[in-house]
Structure 1
Amino acid sequence: MTATTAPRSALRSRDFRLLIAGQGLSMVTYGAYLSMLSWYAYRLTGSPGASSLVLGVAAVSEVTTLLLGGALADRWNRRSMMVLADTGRLVAVGALAVLTATEHTNLLVLAVCAALVSLFDGLFYPAFGGIVPATVPVDMIGSANASLGFVRSVSAIAGPALGGAVYASAGMATVLALTAVAFLVALATALALRPLPRTGPPVRSRPLRDIAEGTRYVLSVPLLVSIPVAAGALLLSEGPTQTLLPRLVEEHFDGGAGTLSLLTTAYGAGAAAGALLYARWMPRRRRAVNVYVSWTAAHVLCAAMALATWLPGAIALAAVRGLCGGLGFALWETLLMQVVTPDKLSRVYSVNLFGTKALMPLGFALGGWAGAHAPAATVIACGQLAGAVLMGSLLLVRRIRAVN
């Protein structure tokens, strides 16, 4: 194992240290914000429909700008895109914090501010995905993705825990204020970045044409053709799982919020371990095969977790599922950055995110409908196994298996 393959090697880059420090902090506080958003909507109105409205508006808003964000980030300065997005999110969350602290928040205000934050999310994520390779040398891209994967996984655990603790002790206004401060830090670190310059002459941005060109590119590259298949697998598996997991906890384990937290925490810890495993392993061959084997295994493990009746066993399965998912995700991100041409990277990211986020509401609806006709364990297991079949089918495609 050489020093350049360890996670710390990417941290030797000044720009990557700035990037992961600013964005890591915002990931944690943004997780706190998202975890409390639906609860606050419910508390404002006393209606579960309010939570669905706010989350639905936020989801639609992000999907609206994702493809545009990818097209602009491939033609414009990605650092400037991140600065714009962080500024927009800072203003929207900061305004909501002030309105909440002064007791001027209602459901309409909450929905509008949440929509604005998500609109800027759609501009931010493609630019962020595209700028990572410009902050480290080529041989450190894998290390950078392992580090980011670890931070994301830890944030997925720490964010909701922080949100719940701060909300209980100081209220929603404080949760929002912390989120705004983190966006301010992320904005400052983005301004301090000095990413590697792009090569080639500047190209005039024509968003609709660029979106179409990016979509054609995705369909022309063997590895990227798997994106819509993976999106279909997520629709069948993750939508029903997220919808019915609380009911599964109640039916199988006679548990409540604490049991649900144990399962989700085990998954997050496993995903963090998967990112670290990738950093230690750093495979150079058959990486596409390893991605789809890892994700197929994650689906099968989730099905086994749903059918388990012993809580410690279910927790262990959730942790191993997270490890497979985190390992596969770190591999996938590195493959994208090394296979996709730099001038199309942000658009590929946007298409990748668009496919999963646009289909997830259908997955939620599918889970709700199926859950009304069958036990939660059956629905989750069937959905996850269907996802495993779809994901595993990619291993039958020779051109995908040939990707190293």
Structure 2
Amino acid sequence: MNTFRGSGLLRNRDFSLLLSSQLISAIGDQAQFMALPLVVLALTGSATQAGFVLGLGTVSFLAFGLVAGALVDRWDRKTTMFWCEVGRTVLTSSVVVAAWLDRLTMPQLYATAVLAGFSGTVFQVASTAALPNIVDTPQLPTALGYQQSAASAVSIFGAPLAGALYAVGQVVPFAVNAVSFAVSAASLRLMRARFQVERHDVVRTRARLTTEIREGLSWLWREPVIRFLTLVTAADKARYGAGYLLIIALAQQLGSSSLWIGVIFSGAAVGAMVGALVSDRVTRRFRLGRIAVVMLWLEAVMFPLYALAPSPLLLAAVAAGESLVAPVYAVAMTTHQLSITPDELRGRATSTISTFTTGALSIGTLAGGALISALGAKPLVWLCGAWLLALALLTTANRAVRQAPRAGTIPRKETAIETRAAGLAS
């Protein structure tokens, strides 16, 4: 493994290949995500069908997330990621071919959404679990910061690019996405690093899949800081899911055009990018507990400003400010989780956390529309602000979280399997 710090991390050939392939794939995903509902509307004229197809991706993570984590810990991660990308290349290409032959149907789009969602879930979990084997532990905040910055850049520039590609042709975004998956698969083949530590099969007996899932859940539950912050993050994600529709409703009440609504969310993406750019430095300097507490208090103070903003421009400013802190916390939390989790459990730990947070995000999104209709947009802002205030108070009162040191500085505990393997090796 190449070991360079700071900007030198990009001289790590394997990490550079991984980052570039993820960026290219994310651009393709963004293009397809924007184009898919438009294609469904063209086929059926039904907004309900369009929303259902988009929702299948999230449902896939909720349905298969825990299984994906267990499989990622069982299988060779690099090979698994490669075949996930090959599978998504074939699935997306089939949409292009069917549309070109004028044979595209809704059942094919449903199947593509589910299968691509499953492949994407496995790929995402494997990629996160493999990262500590591609870069050294002290480099994790930098590597995660680069990934967060790339994701924010796609959020800013991806939507206009997706619109331009769709204007060229309905299936062009799907073709671009298919190429991006193929490029990602080729990049994986060029990487030299091992994506997991060598397994000591002489001491490891393959358990049932459900047993392995329970192992991951049990390990996570025994880590009080991760357990508490996972639950708090899930509660925050529920608010975030409702906030997406809430911001749109507030913007419409101010008479904002669709262009201004786009500007507001671009402001959020810019704030997230700035946060991602400084996340490495902040994670290295401040304790995880302080970062978590400060993030929640800033969100609790800033979110009510949405109800007070008198113009779309100020809504965009609030969105940028509120989005600034989330990437810093995400990098610190993920660094902490990856650095203390044994390699053989990283897939399951990662998928468990993601399943909780993704499920809460989905609940918040589903509940957001109903709450806006029942309460109104501005009252819901104050309710969400009170929710965030409660989370900030609970986190501040948690002594274990307050005292959590800088991410990546806690020695990882040796597992029983590793202890037995070391004894046999000696």
TM above 0.5, one fold? yes
Instruction: Look up the equivalent residue of 2:101 and give its one-letter code.
Output: T
Corresponding residue number in structure 2 for 1:363: 364
Higher mean alpha-carbon deviation, 60-69 vs 172-181, is at 60-69
Equivalent residue number for residue 353 of structure 1: 354
* Distance change in 2, residues 1:269/1:174 (3 Å): same
**Aligned partners of 1:176 and 1:333: how far apart in 2?**
31
Q: Distance in 2 between matches of 1:51 and 1:307?
A: 33
Q: Which moved more, 1:200-209 or 1:242-251?
A: 200-209
Who is 1:43 aligned against? 42
Q: Which moved more, 1:89-98 or 1:200-209?
A: 200-209
Instruction: State the alpha-carbon separation in 2 of the partners of residues 24 and 265 from structure 1.
Output: 18
1:252-288 CA-partner distances (Å, limit 9, x unpaired)? x211211111111111111111111123444244123
1:185 to 183, 188, 191: 183
The residue number in structure 1 matching 2:338 is: 337
Over the matched positions of the two proteins, sequence identity in percent amounts to 24
8 A contact 1:233–1:391 mirrored in 2: no
1:189-247: CA deviations, max 9, x gaps?
11222224504514435321111111111111012112123212222x12221233322
**Cα deviation, residue 318, structure 1:** 1.1
Q: Which residue of 2 aligns with 1:212?
A: 214
SS across alignment from 2:374: coil
Within 2, Cα distance between the matches of 1:10 and 1:291? Answer: 26
Per-residue CA distance 1:285-333 (angstroms, 9 max, x = gap) = 4123213422442354233224312333222211111211122112222
- Contact preservation (8 Å) 2:30, 2:154: yes
1:248-397 alignment to 2 at 5 Å?
248-251=250-253, 253-397=254-398
Give the distance between the partners of 2:24 and 2:124, measured in 1 at CA.
Answer: 16
Aligned in 2, Cα 1:101/1:291: closer, same or farther, shift over 3 Å? farther
Letter of the 1:50 counterpart: Q
Q: For residues 50 and 198 of structure 1, do their structure 2 counterparts lie closer, same or farther at Cα, with a shift above 3 Å needed?
A: same
Letter in 2 for 1:234: K
Bigger CA drift: 144-153 or 100-109?
100-109
Distance in structure 2 (CA, Å) of the matches to 1:28 and 1:38? 17
Q: Is the 8 A contact 2:251 2:312 kept in 1?
A: no
1:245 aligned to which of 232, 240, 247: 247
> Does the 8 A contact of 1:307 with 1:381 survive in 2?
no
- Correspondence 1:73-222 to 2 at 5 A: 73-168=72-167, 170-196=168-194, 198-202=197-201, 203=204, 204=206, 206-222=208-224
Output the amino acid matched with 2:197: R
Aligned residue for 1:34? 33
| Paired letter, 2:84 | A
- Contact kept, 8 Å, 1:5 with 1:142, in 2: the verdict is no
CA RMSD of superposed structures (Å): 2.0
Query: For the residues of structure 2 that align with 1:176 and 1:28, how far apart are their CA atoms?
Result: 11
Give the conservation status (yes or no) of the 8 Å contact 2:306–2:381. no
CA displacement, residues 29-59 of structure 1 (integer Å, 9 cap, x when unaligned): 1112112222322232112111122122232
Alignment of 1:56-67 (within 5 A): 56-67=55-66
Contact preservation (8 Å) 2:299, 2:388:
no
1:91-120 deviation digits (Å, cap 9, x = unpaired): 111111211222222322222211111011
SS in structure 1 at match of 2:224:
coil
| 1:391 CA displacement | 4.7
Cα distance in 2 between the residues matched to 1:388 and 1:85: 41
Work out whether residues 296 and 391 of structure 2, in 8 Å CA contact, stay in contact via their aligned partners in 1.
no
Q: Which amino acid aligns with 2:237?
A: L
- Residue deviations 1:142-188, cap 9 Å, x none? 111111111111112222221111112x1221000000000000011
Judging changes above 3 Å, is the alpha-carbon distance between structure 1 residues 361 and 140 closer, same or farther for their aligned structure 2 residues?
A: closer
- Is residue 296–residue 388 contact of structure 2 (8 Å, CA) maintained in 1? no
Task: Quickly say closer, same or farther: Cα 1:136–1:400, change in 2 above 3 A.
Answer: same
- 8 Å CA contact 1:229–1:391 kept in 2: the answer is no
Which segments of 5 or more consecutive residues in structure 1 lack a partner in the other structure? none
CA shift digits 1:108-143 (9 cap, x unpaired): 222221111101112111101011111112221111
Please give the secondary structure, in 2, of the residue aligned with 1:224.
helix
- Say if 1:75 and 1:205, in contact at 8 Å, map to a contact too: no
| Equivalenced residues, count | 398
Name the larger-Rg structure: 2
1:229 corresponds to: 232
Q: Are the aligned partners of 1:238 and 1:384 in contact in 2 as well (CA < 8 Å)?
A: no
